[in-house]
Structure 1
Amino acid sequence: MMNWEKLLNDSRLGGRAPKAERGRSPYNSDHDKIIFSGAFRRLARKTQVHPLATNDHIHNRLTHSLEVACVGRSLGILAGLKLEEEGVLPAGIRATDIGDIVQSTCLAHDIGNPPFGHTGEEAIKSWFSSKGSEFLRNMSPQEKNDLCYFEGNAQGLRVLTSVENHINEGGMRLTYATLASFIKYPWTSLPAQEGKRPKSDKYGVFTSELKIFDEIANEVGLISREGDDWYCRHPLVHLMESADDFCYGILDLEDGLEMGILSWEEMYEILRPVIPEESVNELEKDMARLSFGRKTPLLRGKVIGRYVEAASDAFIRHQEQYLAGDPTSLIELCEEPVKDSILKAKGIAKSKIFNHPRKIELEVGSYNVISTLLSVMCESAFEWVNTPKNMSFRSKRVIDLIGASTFDPKIKNGDAALSKDYLALRRVVDFISGMTDNYATFLAKQFNGMGM
């Protein structure tokens, strides 16, 4: 069994003691570090569902992350209050601390996603599995797999622990509790692809962050699973994941309504069962006086309130299971109306919203953008590592653009554990996955000689 005292470890990555700050807990500090990071700010120009949307009301990664963080904070505090009532929180830990941790993980949950959303992930995978395979020939199977099956969740852990702020020296240096609560899929890529993990298409840790992963898991006391580099989830991951699902469930529908893909009636039919029967008549009277644009926020507030209450209840009912490492999704444990509405919302999003023609057009184009960037930058990084004295002028300029000082020093110093090619291409992928949709498109045009 895991225990809350260790799970809520407020020491920072690298064994650094938490700062004693008046008016700000270590978990508050995590929240602030994420909010003020460049990686978080760039989410404003990254695809949530609809690439390069011209309608300002459509969600991007930043607005989505902020909304998920609001829901996560409420869910975390409510669950914390119930844990407090049961007397299981360690001395000095308050319900608001649980809220701060969950809020921080919600803010960061998409921070590793590349431009163009999940299509960007697929484009990176596709390039390394085809055109880019020549750069992988000297790598280990695990290293190759990390690139051929690029995963935004694993990139997110890399951003938090290696890429932002203190580059290659702890990243943002967040608390162990927040970092552990961020890792949705606590295993590596190769066993997942071989079908040896709960999900074959998801993982949360690149080979480059294995030592960091083990440090985090040991410091918070995650239960080690059978198999290398595999642990159970931190219980608070389930709260973060639920907050994300709640927002997906409602806000994808709102975007569909805004774009004319869904009707109000379709949206209301999915969400109405969540509202208690005794409240429906009053809600419908209030909405009858409002335009469609003003009905939506009223309905959203009622539905999210029900979602949060249901999830916090389910979390408390099953906390012993989660402390024992049970991987069951919290949504699956919620009352039926809540669970059904989220599943139906996801279903209609996949069938209607995700297949909007303009979305498909832009996604197809994004493959060419990602391919151009990877082709130019990987070739340059490969030269920089393997033939530094014979580098082309173009490759030198590309390395100047990325920043030679941002590459892992192990490339030049030597590290038997990881290949130099892997570490160099890992940095290229950092650079590209950190781009906004707009900058990636602009830079690909520049590389092709078609820019302004």
Structure 2
Amino acid sequence: MFAPYACLPDQSRERLHAERMSTFRSPYQRDRDRIIHSSAFRRLKHKTQVFVEHEGDYYRTRLTHSIEVAQVARTLAGVLGLNTDLAEAVALAHDLGHTPFGHTGEDALAALMAPYGGFDHNAQALRIVTRLERHYADFDGLNLTWETLEGIAKHNGPVTGPNADPKHARDPLPYALAEANAEWDLELSTFASAEAQVAAIADDVAYSHHDLHDGLRSGLFSEDDLMDLPVTGPAFEAVDRMYPGLDRMRRRHEALRRVFGVMVEDVIAVARNRLDAAQPKSADEIRAMEGTVIRFSKPLYQELKAIRSFLFTRMYRAPSVMVERARVSAVIADLFPLFMAQPDLLPDEWQADVAAAQDETTLARTVADYVAGMTDRFALQEHSRLLG
């Protein structure tokens, strides 16, 4: 029972390389399954969110984060009559392009790649699913449907044209995004499908929730610190009224699940209002709108900005985290020039790409592909093995 503005499987723009339809699975189910079975998805197990992966078994990794995002995306898509399989596929793929050591690693690699076209994790996710996964006999990449590729490329909004958010606008486009778009026009100046928009907001919901949880567990701040913040403060007060004297861990869980619920319910209410007002008749009408239909309300968005500002100061830029950021940035800063100077150090399966490199730029992009694909622990191990 799909809404008229959902992406319907039988109306898919299909795949770049034609394939026979599956007997049992829709095109978007096949996309989801290919992403789950990809090497890049498995590597997310050992890639960090905020903390370095080995620091604690309870902290989120990119893999657990992606699963949480997919769960939220399926819930939102189901309530709104959207295609849950497509929303889940985009959600599971959205972080495939992340480097080791989270945004710290991305910042370090982007600086090193600045002379060669830069580095962007969203664009790198497209490069992975269109080029770097090499398991199928008939094509490189995963040969995903147009709708899933579109969702990966612009789930955060248009990346070109008048509707592009200045934070996401790309001028020039990252080379990985430009290459994918040149091969198959992803209509980068329009909004993505409602399913991709759902995946984007699910990402915001998931990390806003679990970064609070991880920050508490790490001891970077306490429950008392959250009592003065919007959303979190009322959530703890509600738990205290309902369960006076509840032990600390249960109190924390009950409060944060209420924060989670506030965000999800707000997104659903706003989406229903916007969809009822616009009455879109197709997925293409969603793409042609002047703004997103899946978003937070303005009041909640402002409250979440206050929480994110708190997290930035107390967690993302905490002194202990900054020390670790400097250490892991140095790992990337050491490995990249080493492989540029001695590409024979790359594994055998990468030597064909090294041999095909026509100039320093294409070699740098090969090295960036390899370094970006490393897990936290492998990057540390290789740094120790090669550099002592």
Give 1:154's match in structure 2, choosing from 123, 126, 146: 123
How much does 1:280 deviate?
Answer: 7.3
2:32 corresponding residue in structure 1: 31
Q: Normalising by structure 1, what TM-score? A: 0.72
What SS does the aligned partner of 2:194 have?
Answer: coil
One-letter amino acid matched to 1:404: Q
Q: Deviations over 1:293-351 (max 9, x none)?
A: 1223323333323322321332243344843243458435x262x32332222111111
1:403 corresponding residue in structure 2: 350
Number of residue-to-residue matches in the alignment: 373
Q: Take 1:157 and 1:232, find their aligned partners in 2: how far apart are those partners?
A: 17
Are residues 423 and 325 of structure 1, via their aligned partners in 2, closer, same or farther at CA, if it must alter by over 3 Å? farther
2:340 corresponding residue in structure 1: 378
Q: Is residue 326 from structure 1 mapped to residue 290 from structure 2 by the alignment?
A: yes
2:281 corresponding residue in structure 1: none
**1:24-103 equivalences in 2 (<5 Å):** 24-80=25-81, 95=82, 98-103=83-88
Task: List 4+ stretches of structure 1 deviating above 6 A.
Answer: none
Give 1:13's match in structure 2, choosing from 12, 15, 19: 15
1:445 corresponding residue in structure 2: 384
Give 2:373's match in structure 1, choosing from 420, 426, 434: 434
Q: Take 2:258 and 2:158, find their aligned partners in 1: how far apart are those partners?
A: 37
Q: Normalising by structure 2, what TM-score? A: 0.83
Q: Deviations over 1:381-440 (max 9, x none)?
A: 4xxxxxxxxxxxxx3xx24445224x289x37xxxxxx6443332221111101011111
What SS does the aligned partner of 2:66 have?
Answer: helix
How much does 1:164 deviate?
Answer: 1.3
How much does 1:365 deviate?
Answer: 1.2
Q: Take 2:15 and 2:140, find their aligned partners in 1: how far apart are those partners?
A: 6
Structure 2: tracts of 5 or more residues without a match: 279-284
How much does 1:442 deviate?
Answer: 1.0
Are residues 9 and 447 of structure 1, via their aligned partners in 2, closer, same or farther at CA, if it must alter by over 3 Å? farther
How much does 1:372 deviate?
Answer: 1.9
Q: Take 1:272 and 1:431, find their aligned partners in 2: how far apart are those partners?
A: 40
Query: Which one has a bigger Cα radius of gyration?
Result: 1
Give 1:104's match in structure 2, choosing from 89, 95, 105: 89
**1:195-206 equivalences in 2 (<5 Å):** 198-199=165-166, 203=170, 206=174
Are residues 297 and 327 of structure 1, via their aligned partners in 2, closer, same or farther at CA, if it must alter by over 3 Å? same
1:117 corresponding residue in structure 2: 102
1:360 corresponding residue in structure 2: 322
How much does 1:291 deviate?
Answer: 1.9
Note if contact 2:213-2:256 (Cα within 8 Å) is conserved in structure 1: no
How much does 1:18 deviate?
Answer: 5.7
Q: Deviations over 1:177-229 (max 9, x none)?
A: 122112235777xx89xx995335664964345353255545xxx4x64xxxx
Q: Take 2:215 and 2:104, find their aligned partners in 1: how far apart are those partners?
A: 19
Task: Quote the sequence identity (%).
Answer: 25
**1:108-257 equivalences in 2 (<5 Å):** 108-129=93-114, 144=116, 146-147=117-118, 150-166=119-135, 169-184=139-154, 198-199=165-166, 203=170, 206-214=174-182, 216-217=184-185, 222=187, 225=189, 231-257=190-216
